[in-house]
Every structure is written in C-alpha cells, then in structure tokens.
Amino acid sequence: MKPQDRAINLVPLPQPSSRPGGSAKKKKWLRLFFLHRYIGLFAALFAVFLSVTGILLNHTEELGLHDRQVTIGWVMKLYGIQPPQIVTGYTSEYLDKPAWIIDFGDAVFFDQQRLPCDPPVIGALMQDEILVVAGPKQLCLVTPEGELIDTLPLEVSRVTQLGRNVRQQLFIDTPEGNYTLNRDMTEVVVQQDSSSEIEWQKSRTPPDEVTKVLFQRYQGTGLPLERIILDLHSGRAIGLGGVYFMDAIGLLLIFLAVSGVMMWSKRAANKKRNKVSR
C-alpha cells in the first residue's frame, strides 16, 4: 500500500484533550516535563562535576595525581589532619628524668608515644609507676608503655589542677575541694590531708625538639591529589552524608535519562500521528 492510500484510509485521531481522560494524561506528561526540566537544572552542575572528576580519575597515572601531594591548610583540616595551634605540656619525673605529657590538640602524647586518653589535659603526674592524666571530668590511668589501665570519672566536680605534697601524695584540685586516689587507684576520694604544702603543676610550652617530631608525624607529607579527587567524586569528602547525596544524584541522572527517553518517544509518536492525520 502506498503511503498516500494509507493516509486516506485512516480517520484523523482526535486531539488528546478531546479524548476521554486526555486532559489528565496531558497533565501527567506536563508534570513529567517540569520534573525533567527542574531535576535537570538541579543535577546539571553535579553531572558536570562527576564527569570532570571521573575523567581525571581515569587518567591518574598520566596526570601523576597520586604523586602530587596537597598540603593546603583547609583541605588538611577537612581530612582532620590540621595540627593544633596551641600545644601545651606538663612534665613529670620518669626514670629519673623529666618526661613530657603533651596536649596536642586532639591527641595526648607521653614524649613521642600517643596515649589512649582524651584531651584536654588539665595535668599529668607519674604516681607509683602509673601515669595519671587528668581531664576536666575524668582521670586516665596509663602505664609508662602507654597501655590504658582505667578511666575514673569525676562525678562530683571538675579538675582544675593536679599537685603533690612533700610526701608525694597526689592532690586533685576542684572548686569543691581537694581529692586524691585511693590506695589501689580504683576510686577518686576526698583528700583528707589538708595541712601539707602542695606544689601545683603548671602547664608549659614544650620545647621545639619535642613538638617538631609530633608535628611532622601528624601532618605527614600531605594528601595525594588522587585521594582528594576520588573522595570528591564519591562524596566521601564530606562524610557519609556526601556518599548518599552522590547516590541520590546518580538516581536523579537515571530518572533524567528515563524521562528523557519517554518524552522523546512520546513526541516522536505525536509527530508521526500528526503527520498521518494531516
């Protein structure tokens, strides 16, 4: 059959709005069209971003991204490797020489060894071969080798400073009075001795030769650029929320692809139908 014969035999199709339920259908398509448009606008930026980072990741070796180290301050901070601005320390005799207990921002060190205690440090003293590191609300007891013995919460008050009297008894100063540890160092108890002269410990700035090694160890040589681009691509750079956000963007892109094809096929069908009806 020739095309013109087919056109003669066919009855022109009614307009969508004149058909029963046509208006609702038209509205549905219109909604899809708007959704496609606005989701497209929203996702366009991320599509470009994902494409660029994806292309870069495909060529990490050629671009030498793994070898390039980033040491920019805010990037390091984003990865939680920003060295602290203020470093304070306390000294305590250990093996007949002063040892440094250093409050290094988000970590506590005993000389070069990281301790399993939480900062901030209010004071630190070696007592009967056990290092007592005081925080505002708890005492952290560690061995000189850095093993955590126990943490003792100070429920009634907060520590303001640590000290010792001439008999080497421990004094924990709080606004409510002095406390100490019991004989087994299992409990914080009220210090009964009030007559002694107490030497309170003062925080000091540790010497450069002590902190230099810590700074170096903390910052390392930087972050490989490949790592940063990979984390940006996956959204991991801003945490778990970022990963799921990128997943959502991926789903939006899938929606755009499907709605695009649907609208294109609808338009193509309409075009064909209009051509036939003419």
Which residues of this chain interact with other proteins, rule CB under 8 A? 34-35, 38-39, 42, 116, 141, 143, 147-151, 184, 186, 239-241, 244-245, 248
Residues with Cβ within 8 Å of 224's Cβ and at least 6 positions away in sequence, in order, are 65, 66, 67, 68, 69, 70
Between CA 170 and CA 180 the distance in angstroms is 6
Residue 173 CB, nearest distance to other proteins (Å)? 25
Residue 197 CB, nearest distance to other proteins (Å)? 32
Place of tokens 């040892």: 99
Nearest CB to other proteins, comparing residues 248 and 261: 248
Nearest CB to other proteins, comparing residues 244 and 264: 244
Nearest CB to other proteins, comparing residues 132 and 225: 132
Residue 39 CB, nearest distance to other proteins (Å)? 7
Contact 236, 84 (CB under 8 A): no
Nearest CB to other proteins, comparing residues 8 and 41: 41
Contact 249, 43 (CB under 8 A): yes
Residue 190 CB, nearest distance to other proteins (Å)? 16
Contact 132, 141 (CB under 8 A): yes
Residue 186 CB, nearest distance to other proteins (Å)? 5
Nearest CB to other proteins, comparing residues 69 and 182: 182
Between CA 123 and CA 269 the distance in angstroms is 79
Residue 151 CB, nearest distance to other proteins (Å)? 8
Nearest CB to other proteins, comparing residues 262 and 269: 262
Between CA 99 and CA 190 the distance in angstroms is 28
Of residues 150, 190, 184, the one with CA closest to residue 172: 190
Give buried/exposed letters for 186-221 (b at 16+ CB in 10 A, else e): eebeebeeeeeebeebebeebeeebbeebeeebeee
Strand partners, 123: 134
